[in-house]
Amino acid sequence: MAAPVPSDMPVKRTPLFDLHMSLGALMVPFAGYEMPVQYTAGVLKEHLHTREKAGLFDVSHMGQAYLIADDLDHATVAAGLEALVPADILNLKHGQQRYTQFTSEDGGILDDLMVSRPENSDGDGVLNLVVNAGCKDADYAHMADGLPPEITLHQRAHHALLALQGPMAAAVLSEHAPDAAKMAFMTSRLLKITGITCGVSRSGYTGEDGYEISVHQDDVVALATKLLADPRVAAIGLGARDSLRLEAGLCLYGHDIDTTTSPIEADLAWSIQKRRRDGSGFPGHARIKTELANGPKRRRVGILPEGRAPAREGTEILDASGAKIGAITSGGFGPSVNGPIAMGYVTTAHATVGTRVQLMVRGKPLPAAVVKMPFTPHRYSR
C-alpha cells in the first residue's frame, strides 16, 4: 500500500521517526514520508490488538490547516468552503466535525477531508481541516485558488497528528483528560492531555471508537511515549491501518475514490446533507443531483470471495456469464473476519446484496458475492 515517491523527491519524516525506529518499525515510503508499515508484532497482531484494546497511530503526514474569515463570521467562512465541497458547513454546530469531499466540475472527487468548527463562539469565523497526505499540496492550492479574498488559509505545518483507536481508547485517554469520555462521535474540542494542550476529535479510520489528537510537533514525542506506557496501548503501523479501514468499509483516496468517482457512486450520499442536495453552488452539483435522483451507473460494494485467495486492487469482477462488470479497488485479508474481503465498483444492475459474481485471480475465475458493508460492525461512540 506504500505510495511511490519520485526518485528526485526527498522523503520527509514525521517528528516521531526516532520513536518508530526505537520500537523496531519497518519503515516504507508513503505519500512522500517515511512511515511505519508495521512493528515487531506484525500486521496481524497489531490489527487484532486495535480491535481488542487500543492502538496508537502516527498520522502526522496528514495535512492540517485552518480557514479564517476576515470578519470572524461563521457564515462567511462556511460559504467560502461550501463553494468547494457538497457538505452543509453553514449548519455545522460548535464543536462538530463533518466528513466531506472536494469535488471537481464533473462531479469527481479531488480528495476527502474532515472539517470541524471550534467548540465555542470565540473561534467563530474559523474552520479546522484535515486532508490526505498525498493530496495536501494540491488541496491547499485548490483552496487558495477557489476561496474568496476575505478568507485566509493557514497551514499547521508544525503540528503532528496521533490517532488512538480501539474499544479501550476512551478509558485510556480519559485517565489523562477526563472530559474525553464525555465527547460524542464526530465532535472536537481542546483538551489538556498530560498537561499538553491538544485539539481532539472523537473520530478515526478503523471503525472503532477512538480519537484523533492534533499536537505541536515539539510535544508529540512526550505525548506518544506517555500513551504507549499504558499496557492497553500498542504502536500500530500502516499495514494494520489499511486492513482495519477495509474491514470497516471505509474509502482510501486514490483507490476507492478518485477523480473518476462521484460521491454517489462511492456510496457517500450520506455525507451530503439535504440543504445541499436541493441546491447547487459546489463543483459537480449537476451530476451529483442527477445521480441522487436517478441513481448512478455503478456503485461501490463489498465483495466476499469464497475460499482463502485474496482479490487485490485491479482484479476484474465478472458476472455469471463471464462479462466484465467492474473491478476491485481494495482487497486483502481481514484478520477479524479471518478471510479475504474486498470492495470495488460494479454496474448498478449487479450491486444488490447477494448477487453472485466471479473474480479473475491469477487468470482463474473464483466465486464471490456482493455483500453488505462494513465487514466488521462499526463501534463508534454515539
pLDDT in tens, the chain (382 residues): 444 444 456 799 999 999 999 999 999 999 999 999 999 999 999 999 999 999 999 999 999 999 999 999 999 999 999 999 999 999 999 999 999 999 999 999 999 999 999 999 888 999 999 999 999 999 999 999 999 999 999 999 999 999 999 999 999 999 999 999 999 999 999 999 999 999 999 999 999 999 999 999 999 999 999 999 999 999 999 999 999 999 999 999 999 999 999 999 999 999 999 999 987 899 999 999 999 999 999 999 999 999 999 999 999 999 999 999 999 999 999 999 999 999 999 999 999 999 999 999 999 999 999 999 999 999 999 8
**Closest C-alpha among 255, 274, 207 to residue 109:** 255
Give me 76's grid cell.
462567511
Residue 203 to residue 188: CA distance in whole angstroms = 9
Residue 181 to residue 184: CA distance in whole angstroms = 8
- Give how far Cα 155 sits from Cα of 41, 128, 139, 164, 330, Å: 35, 10, 11, 23, 31
Residue 3 to residue 6: CA distance in whole angstroms = 10
DSSP H helices in 257-304:
274-277, 285-294
**Closest C-alpha among 237, 234, 197 to residue 218:** 197
Residues shown for the chain:
382
Record the pTM. Answer: 0.96
Question: What is residue 368's DSSP assignment?
Answer: E
Give me 94's grid cell.
460548535
* 97-103 vs 63-69, strand pairing mode: unpaired
**Closest C-alpha among 342, 344, 331, 259 to residue 299:** 344
